Structure 1
Amino acid sequence: MKRIFAGVLIAASVSAVPLTVAGPVSAAARPSSYQLHGGPGGSKFEGIGADTRRGVFYVSEVTGGEIHKGTTQDPNALEWLPGDGTHGRFTARGITVDEAGRVYIAGGPNGIGQPGRPDLWVYSPTGDLLAALRAPGDNVFLNDVAIGPDGAAYFTNSNAPQVFRVALGDNGWQTQMWADATGTIATQPGFNLGGIVTSPDASSLVIGQGTTGQLWRFDLADASVTPVSTGGTDLTGADGLVRQGSVLTVVRNFQRMLATLRLAPDGSAASLVEQRATDPTRVLTTAKVLRGRMLLVDSKFEETVATPPYEVVTDPISEFAP
């Protein structure tokens, strides 16, 4: 059931853009939210990946590391991969899917202080483990992941200004330090690098820094790093990033806002279109677009012990007036 709340709108001087894209499936035939089935001790969900070819989505859970799977037509998403130590996974954060349907999972702090635990996993579309890997270094909090134009997966580190590259090579699956922006990006207490997307022209990665609200451009040709010019737009709490063409949506978690920006082709600049208040009873973390609608994860991060319902929502925006 939809819940509508009073909200605000902060608009820039360009036309507003929708938070969805055209899709082949009628919205009337699909649920307005998707139910996730948590554990008896309370569950908190964070990441979401979308397989656009197969019409399915995957949601990661923080407290145990299980992965849930759903379709656009079924209101109930079911556990797909167990957590609680399965393949060394006790927590899971960002998640994405490549063109082959392989699922990449970021482990957050799963490996910190635990040499035997992986930092990330790769699974086949049928749930077979393809790789469980460590990332170089001992301060690795893998937050989010995106597929680059080269087909490799790029993972952000929230504890240091680093990006790791994961790909299948001649010697199997390998992870490497791809970019280290120490000296360019100053880390702050809290969660730093998080959401990640490719630029419209596929020349760079655009990454959000939640602690400062700064967007950063990582050039895919030489791994150089420069700030994205946003005209001073407030993006603190930037968590998930979603790009649809030149439109960039920034999910601002505890600020309970969605910011929409127009992104330059190379990712070097972004101009504000609007900021919308989201449902004040939810802390949304990230989102993906699937079959014409944006799916956002209600994390339950504001609750000490999370309680049902656990949901992926499609109508997060509060009622607003210009």
Structure 2
Amino acid sequence: MAVRSLTATLALSAVLFGVGAPFASAHSATYQLPGDPVVNGAGGSKYEGIGYDVRTQRFYVSETTGGEIHRGSLRSSAATEWLAGDGTDGRWTARGVTVDAKGRVYVAGGPNGIDHPGAPDLWVYDRSGRLLAALRTGVPNTFLNDLAIGPDGAAYVTNSNAPQIFRVAEQHGRWTIRTWADATATIPTATGFNLGGIVLSPDRRALVVAQGNVGKLWRFDLRTGRATLVDTGDTDLVNADGLVQQGRQLWVVRNFSRVLTTLRLAPDGTAATLVRATATDPDRVFTTAKLAQGRLLLVDSKFDEPVGLPPYEVVALTPPRR
């Protein structure tokens, strides 16, 4: 894929989202990510998760090919490698990333513990990059995918291999991870990636979770852990991956469908109605996003390429709302 100029990206986003001037600020439309070189058709990099620190206006992107974590600033066009991979802290791959109110960065390991038995499934770092915790779930075949910070300050993490959500918490300097909800009796496990993106409901009393392989959303009550199906009518949500919530707006990043679906959530998260389904760049597979300064930061995963070729980028777009 050829390198896109800033002008081309601006023009593309204007077409995709139906706006004449999609960026009101002077910030970059794309952010360059570090990546591995391609040599003789091998190497390259692929990416998945993104976290955003509201206080510092920095974002963190995970690399699946090696587990590196890259950090960028909204005011700089290029990110840099923040945490090394290739076995650093037992991390050979990484998936979802989120940041809590204290600036602590949580990194979900995907199949890290499957591919490397005994290795951690999740890590927590402070803003300086100091390792605070490297945790294992103790549950076989766990694929930790995406994370959200709950109103209690704990991180809730989805398992893509089973209908489970794990809770990560710290008390008096001691970190723990445990199975918080197991919806095996309610949510059938289908072929492919099951539970993925996760956000809070508008009333902050539940978690809303995507099951992308079957195109469903599930509501997990934060008090009871009980899972119920979110009523989305006949809205197509197949390949739902990352979720972004602001008030009653819910943006669903549908990776290989190359669609960004905008929904309006009921306050309690029990139902969602379609606002708009917007085609995204046909040359990119976006996996997830975070909202930063009014723009969505979307990760160009390179999952559609046998070898991930540069440029490696996060794309900033003004999200559709109505």
TM-score, normalisation: structure 1: 0.91
Query: What does residue 33 of structure 1 align with?
Result: 30
Q: Which amino acid aligns with 1:261?
A: L
Query: What does residue 200 of structure 1 align with?
Result: 202
Deviation at 1:27, TM superposition (A): 3.8
Matches within 5 A, 1:38-49: 38-40=35-37, 41-49=43-51
Structure 2 residue aligned with 1:76, among 75, 78, 96? Answer: 78
Q: Which amino acid aligns with 1:147?
A: I
Query: What does residue 188 of structure 1 align with?
Result: 190
Deviation at 1:28, TM superposition (A): 3.1
Does the 8 A contact of 1:278 with 1:317 survive in 2? Answer: no
Q: 1:221 to 1:307 in 2, by over 3 A?
A: same
TM-score, normalisation: structure 2: 0.91
Secondary structure at the aligned position of 1:112 is classed as helix
Structure 2: where are the runs of 5+ without partners? 1-5, 38-42
| Paired-residue identity, % | 63
The whole-number CA distance in structure 1 between the counterparts of 2:319 and 2:98 is 24
- Aligned-residue CA RMSD in angstroms? 2.2
The whole-number CA distance in structure 2 between the counterparts of 1:28 and 1:314 is 11
Query: What does residue 153 of structure 1 align with?
Result: 155
Query: What does residue 4 of structure 1 align with?
Result: 12
Q: 1:262 to 1:317 in 2, by over 3 A?
A: closer
Deviations 1:49-105 (A, max 9, x none): 000111100000001000000010100000000000000000000000000000000
1:211 and 2:219 matched: no
Deviation at 1:136, TM superposition (A): 2.8
Q: 1:163 to 1:304 in 2, by over 3 A?
A: same
Secondary structure at the aligned position of 1:297 is classed as strand
The whole-number CA distance in structure 2 between the counterparts of 1:137 and 1:29 is 47
Deviation at 1:170, TM superposition (A): 4.1
Which has the larger helix fraction? 2
Q: Which amino acid aligns with 1:61?
A: E
1:288 and 2:290 matched: yes
Structure 1 residue aligned with 2:129, among 113, 127, 130? Answer: 127
Does the 8 A contact of 2:90 with 2:119 survive in 1? Answer: yes
Does the 8 A contact of 1:69 with 1:80 survive in 2? Answer: yes
Deviation at 1:181, TM superposition (A): 0.4
Does the 8 A contact of 2:294 with 2:318 survive in 1? Answer: no
Deviation at 1:207, TM superposition (A): 0.1
The whole-number CA distance in structure 1 between the counterparts of 2:180 and 2:198 is 14
